[in-house]
């Protein structure tokens, strides 16, 4: 292969027909509140760990809906619960995260 000094980037296209959303469905069955998340990002905006660890609950839920692996982000959560205080939908986000950790275990 000729080296041009640059190469094709991997496509960021999401094929939702092929995405495995089993984990998200399981989360929703245990924590139905996951379905009412509107991805506003208030949780991520208030997250103390976010600037240092890349943790974002909004991205976690979006990643699960897209069938992506979100485990590395979960490890950044300190379970402080600030996100649950700001959620406009009143989701118990701390509990939701703990449930998700249990599913992964």
Partner 1 sequence: MIYEGKQKIWKDYQKEIPDDHWYYVRSCIRQNFFPASERKFTDITQQMLGKDVYETPYHTTCGGIAYHCDAIPQETVMTIVARQFALMTEAGYENYVPSCVTSFGNYVEILETWHEFPELETRIREQLWKACRREFKKPKYLAHTSDLIYHWRNEIAEKARVRLIDKETGEPVRMAEHIGCHYAKMFPSKGIGGAEYPYVLAGMIESWGGQVVDYPERRHCCGYGFRQYHMKANRGYCVSNTHKKFESMEPYGIQAILTNCPGCCYFMDRWQYVIAEQTGKTYGKDGFGIPVFTYEELAGLVLGYDPWDLGLQLHQVAVEPFLDRIGVEYDPKAKYLGLNREDILRPELPTNLKCF
Comparing CB distances to partner 1, the nearer of 8 and 16 is: 8
Q: How many of the other CB atoms lie within 10 Å of CB of 68?
A: 16
Comparing CB distances to partner 1, the nearer of 16 and 105 is: 16
Comparing CB distances to partner 1, the nearer of 3 and 105 is: 3
Q: Which residues contact 54 (CB under 8 A, 6 or more apart)?
A: 72, 73, 76
Answer for the pair 27, 85: CB distance below 8 angstroms, yes or no.
no
Q: What are 104's two structure tokens?
A: 């992964």
Q: How far is the CB of 15 from partner 1 (least distance, A)?
A: 13
Distance of CA 25 to the CA centre of its chain: 14
CA separation for the pair 90, 2 (Å, rounded): 55
Instruction: List the interface residues with partner 1, window 5-64 (CB under 8 A).
Output: 5-9, 11, 13
Q: How far is the CB of 68 from partner 1 (least distance, A)?
A: 20
Comparing CB distances to partner 1, the nearer of 4 and 105 is: 4
Judged by CB under 8 A, the stretch of 3-11, 25-33, 50-58, 82-90 that binds partner 1 is 3-11
How many helices (DSSP H) and strands (DSSP E) are in the chain? Answer: 7, 0
Which positions lie near partner 1, rule CB under 8 A?
A: 1-2, 4-9, 11, 13
């Amino acid at each position: 292969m000729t080296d041009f000094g640059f190469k094709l980037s991997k496509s960021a296209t999401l094929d939702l027909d092929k995405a495995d959303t089993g984990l998200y469905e399981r989360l929703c069955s245990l924590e139905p509140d996951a379905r009412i998340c509107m991805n506003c990002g208030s949780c991520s905006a208030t997250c103390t760990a976010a600037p240092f660890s890349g943790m974002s609950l909004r991205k976690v839920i979006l990643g699960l809906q897209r069938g992506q692996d979100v485990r590395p982000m979960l490890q950044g959560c300190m379970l402080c619960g600030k996100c649950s205080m700001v959620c406009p939908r009143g989701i118990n986000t701390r509990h939701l995260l703990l449930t998700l950790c249990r599913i992964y275990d």
